[in-house]
Amino acid sequence: MNGRLRNKLLASLVVAMAMPAFGGPMGFKDSWMAMGDFSPNWQEVFVNYALTPRDALGVSTLYMRSDDESKNRQLADVTYTRLVKRWNMPQAQANIWFLGGLGYVTGNDFVGSKAMASPGIQVDYETTRVYASATARLYRADGINHDVASARLGFSFYEVDYDETQPWLVVEARRMTGLSNSVEVTPMLRLIHNRFFFELGVSNSAQGRVNFMYIF
């Protein structure tokens, strides 16, 4: 095996090992992950620390608003992420994640704050060229039910080496119970480079959206 081919295979292996950083809600052991998701009706920021290769603790803040702008929620909570199951394949990887949070929510249609729990699950599959995921998250408090379901499908435009930026096209469909009567569909351009990604898109309701992730 010549040196050039060996280096290319090594780079492909490194990319494959790094894939969970871009598809999953936590990084590798002893790493910090910061993520943000911003649009007019949904603004979320969270940070977590990977205690083990499968467990992470963190904090998050989330702002949710109804389509008609009449109702809004602000949630601050402590989060726990668990890698429940992982399948490693020669050119792909699949995962099942548990996502959970406990905190307090405030809103413009009630006084004070309420305790809120937000358990959920994410299933994803990815290669260096294809990505798919489905997420269901329950946001429950006394008299409040704002469950969120989303699905994503994406593909990369071409292969790159590990130290190069890779462009992707990602399309997400999302709905918020009790806050939206429609399914929000957002095509986004995603740029991945080593430990971060950046996404920019516009939804079918003409709302801009910006997402980011960074592992450090």
The string of pLDDT tens digits covering residues 132-143 is: 999 999 999 999
- Contact at 8 Å (CB) between 57 and 51? yes
pLDDT at residue 49, rounded to an integer: 98
The string of pLDDT tens digits covering residues 161-178 is: 878 899 999 999 999 998
Place of tokens 């809004």: 72
pLDDT at residue 125, rounded to an integer: 96
Q: How confident is the model at residue 20 (pLDDT cuts 50, 70, 90)?
A: very low
The string of pLDDT tens digits covering residues 82-110 is: 999 999 998 899 999 999 999 999 999 99
pTM value is: 0.87
Number of domains, the chain:
1
- Contact at 8 Å (CB) between 11 and 202? no
Q: What is the mean pLDDT of residues 136-163?
A: 93
Q: What is the mean pLDDT of residues 7-14?
A: 41
pLDDT at residue 23, rounded to an integer: 57
The CA distances from residue 32 to 12, 22, 35, 86, 137, in Å, are 24, 13, 10, 20, 22
Q: How confident is the model at residue 181 (pLDDT cuts 50, 70, 90)?
A: confident
| Contacting residues for 90 by C-beta, under 8 A, at least 6 apart | none
CATH number for the domain spanning 202: value is: 2.40.160.40
| Contacting residues for 207 by C-beta, under 8 A, at least 6 apart | 39, 40, 41, 184
| Contacting residues for 111 by C-beta, under 8 A, at least 6 apart | none
How many other CB atoms are there within 10 angstroms of residue 32's CB atom?
Answer: 15
Furthest C-alpha separation in the chain: 69
The helix (H) or strand (E) run that includes residue 37 is strand 32-39
Residue 25 is part of which domain span?
Answer: 3-215
Query: What letter would DSSP give residue 71?
Result: -
Token digits for 119? 């358990």
Q: Among the ranges 105-109, 181-185, 194-198, which has the highest mean pLDDT value?
A: 105-109
Closest CA to 38 of 215, 200, 204: 200
